């Protein structure tokens, strides 16, 4: 029987983290803003069918960067969790916090116990009645949860983009302004992005039940051109 070489736990964790980060950094970043009109999420995505941003529940959206099949699996599990909970109790009992915790626990488990960590970073966003009530949970590949205020950036270049955005995000930011700001921020990583290569979704504060709406096509082009 052969003995495996000893590798220190620190080294194992570092290797896993490096592996996950490298996978995530391959794709472009994603930004989300809490605005006066609701929550705006902007991502680079040339595909119209394979979404990075989607609806989880009435006032909750999901977004992921990194490996598509991995965050898609997490998205579906989240929709299932939310729908079962809403059906068993009441629609208003479904909230982003418990979902974010479930995601964090899952990603943490995978990070330490599975063959390889998930190469994803995800966002669970919930729009409130006022901008102060908005919730943005940013969850990393190892299960770290961050409760962000105002805006958040997911992806390999998150720090640089966040530094660029910080002075520009104010309390009076509206939906259209946030879409333009997001598109501009993502362009820091490469060429300027037009409506065809952007995926934009919006959690509309004023809608009574399902707040999730996609902004695309001519609507999106008009918003981008107005800047």
Partner 1 sequence: MNDSPLPFFAAGTDPGASFVDLLRRVAPDKVPGATAGTGTLGTEVTHGTTIVAIRYDRGVVMAGDRRATAGSLIASRRIEKVFPADDFSGVAIAGAAGPAVELVRLFQVQLEHYEKIEGEPLSLEGKANQLAGLVRANLPAAMQGFVVVPLFAGFDERRDRGRVFSYDATGGKYEEADFQATGSGGIHARNWIKAQWTQDMSRDAAVDLALRALFAAADEDSATGGPDLVRRIFPVVATIDAAGYHALEVEEIGTRAEALLGGREEGAGL
Residues that bind partner 1 (CB under 8 A): 49, 51, 54-56, 73-74, 76-81, 83-84, 86-88, 101-103, 105-106, 109-110, 113-114, 210
CA 35 to CA 175: how far, in whole Å? 6
Q: Considering beta carbons, is residue 113 or 206 the nearer one to partner 1?
A: 113
Closer residue to partner 1 in complex, CB, 108/177: 108
Q: Which is nearer to partner 1, 83 or 189 (CB)?
A: 83
In eight-state DSSP terms, residue 2 is P
* Shortest spacing between CB 113 and partner 1, in angstroms: 8
Closer by beta carbon to partner 1, 101 or else 157: 101
**What is the secondary structure of 130-198 as a DSSP string?**
SGGG-EEEEE-TTS-EEEESSEEEESTTHHHHHHHHGGG--TT--HHHHHHHHHHHHGGGSS---GGGE
Give the Cα separation of 208 and 217 in Å (integer): 25
- Closest distance between partner 1 and the C-beta of residue 32, in Å? 19
Q: Smallest distance, Å, CB 74 to partner 1?
A: 8
- Smallest distance from partner 1 to CB 58, Å: 9
Task: Give me the residue label for tokens 């394979």.
Answer: 50
Here the tokens at position 141 are: 């590949």
């Amino acid at each position: 029987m052969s003995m495996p070489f000893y590798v220190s736990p620190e080294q194992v964790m570092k290797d896993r983290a490096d592996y996950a980060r490298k996978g995530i950094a391959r794709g472009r970043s994603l930004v989300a803003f809490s605005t006066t009109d609701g929550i705006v999420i902007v991502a680079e995505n040339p595909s119209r069918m394979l979404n990075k941003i989607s609806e989880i529940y009435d006032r909750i959206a999901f977004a992921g960067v990194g490996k598509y099949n991995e965050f898609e699996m997490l998205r579906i599990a989240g929709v299932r969790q939310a729908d079962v909970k809403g059906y068993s109790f009441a629609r208003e009992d479904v909230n982003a916090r418990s979902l974010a915790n479930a995601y964090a626990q899952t990603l943490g488990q995978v990070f330490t116990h599975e063959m390889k960590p998930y190469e994803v970073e995800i966002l669970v966003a919930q729009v409130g009645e006022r901008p102060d009530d908005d919730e943005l949970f940013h969850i990393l590949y190892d299960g770290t949860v961050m409760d962000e205020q105002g805006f958040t950036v997911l992806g390999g270049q998150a720090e640089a983009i966040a530094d660029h955005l910080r002075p520009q995000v104010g309390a009076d930011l509206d939906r259209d302004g946030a879409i333009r700001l997001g598109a501009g921020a993502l362009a820091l990583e490469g060429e300027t992005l037009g409506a065809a290569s952007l995926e934009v979704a919006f959690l509309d504060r004023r809608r009574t039940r399902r707040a999730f709406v996609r902004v695309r096509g001519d609507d999106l082009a008009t918003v981008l051109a107005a800047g």
